[in-house]
Chains A and B, each alone.
Chain A
Amino acid sequence: MTVSFLILAILTLAGGIAAMTLRRLVHCALALAVSFAGLAALYLNLGADFAGLAQLLVYVGAIAILIVFAILLTRSGETELDKVFSPKGFIGALLALAVFAVLAWAVASSSATRLTAAGSGPAPSSPIRDIGFSLMQRYVLPLEVIALMLTAAMIGAVILAVRPTRAGDQPETPRNPELQP
């Protein structure tokens, strides 16, 4: 339990709370990016270099930007600020609080957190070389499955997001008259 871990944990949790409670959606997306970056720093702090950098690339670089794009494309920034939370939202908040209470009780009373004395030692080395070897040897089948799934997700996202056109429609004429022959 080092000081850096505490600072990063507080940063991550504050970003998460801000992302879920702020009223303007763009602020929410930025707070979400802060939370993701804090998590990446937590991974680096725990010694997982590759996972931390992948988290930084994928979450901060791609998913946060994707969320900002979705907010701008759906014009969600123009909704009234008093209609942000659902009318019976306090039930959901209470439910989440109950879930946290159960989880915290389970963590506090679990013997698994006390068994391992390995936490005091140095971080286990995870060189990129070892990760690459195990990706190519032991985990090669999951890697291929993930590649297939990413391709399918990409095609599916394009099919879902593309504007449906009726068959037989003429393609739109270009608005710029200089482009017309």
Chain B
Amino acid sequence: MTPLAGCLLVSSLLFAIGLAGALTRRNAILVLAGIELMLNAANLNFIAFWRFGPHPEFLTGLMFVIFSIAVAAAEAAVGLALILAIYRHARTSDVSEITEMKG
């Protein structure tokens, strides 16, 4: 197995773990954590293709990862603020109990 294939397998396993968590957990915070894991798996792919790709001197994958980390930080902040607002309204952070959008 080449190193690139190893990286890709690790990242697809991480993606599957994140997807399973996002689909099976009931707590909204852990759903968000699963989404973060999926995002990290994509980042690992970028790094792997940058490292083992034909033109690493252009730094493209690295730049994409840096911007992606910034986007993930913003996403986590807004997502957790949304979860806090929903908790204050519905007194729960269980996604299977929050069934209506009407306030």
Contacts and interface: CB of A to CB of B under 8 A. Distances in A.
Interface of A: 1, 5, 9, 12-13, 16-17, 19-20, 25, 28-29, 32, 35-36, 39, 42-43, 46-48, 50-51, 54-55, 58-59, 62-63, 66-67, 69-71, 73-74, 76, 79, 83-87, 89-93, 95-97, 99-100, 103-104, 107-108, 112-114, 116, 118-120, 123-124, 126, 130-131, 134-135, 139, 142, 146, 149-150, 153-154, 156-158, 160-161, 163
A124 B49 CA distance: 12
Interface residues of B, number: 73
Contact of A32 (B15, B33, B83): B33
B53 A116 contact: yes
Contact of B51 (A13, A97, A124): A124
B29 A67 contact: yes
Given A58-B70, A114-B2, A154-B74, 4 more contacts: A28-B30, A63-B73, A84-B26, A92-B20
B4 A58 contact: no
B44 A97 contact: no
A2 to B, nearest CB: 8
A161 B9 contact: no
A84 B2 contact: no
Interface of B is mostly: helix
A73 B84 contact: yes
B15 A58 contact: no
Contact of B6 (A5, A66, A79, A91): A5
A100 B23 CA distance: 14
Contacts of B85: 160-161
Contact of B23 (A58, A59, A92, A163): A92
A74 B87 contact: yes
Given A118-B54, A124-B56, A9 B67 contact: no
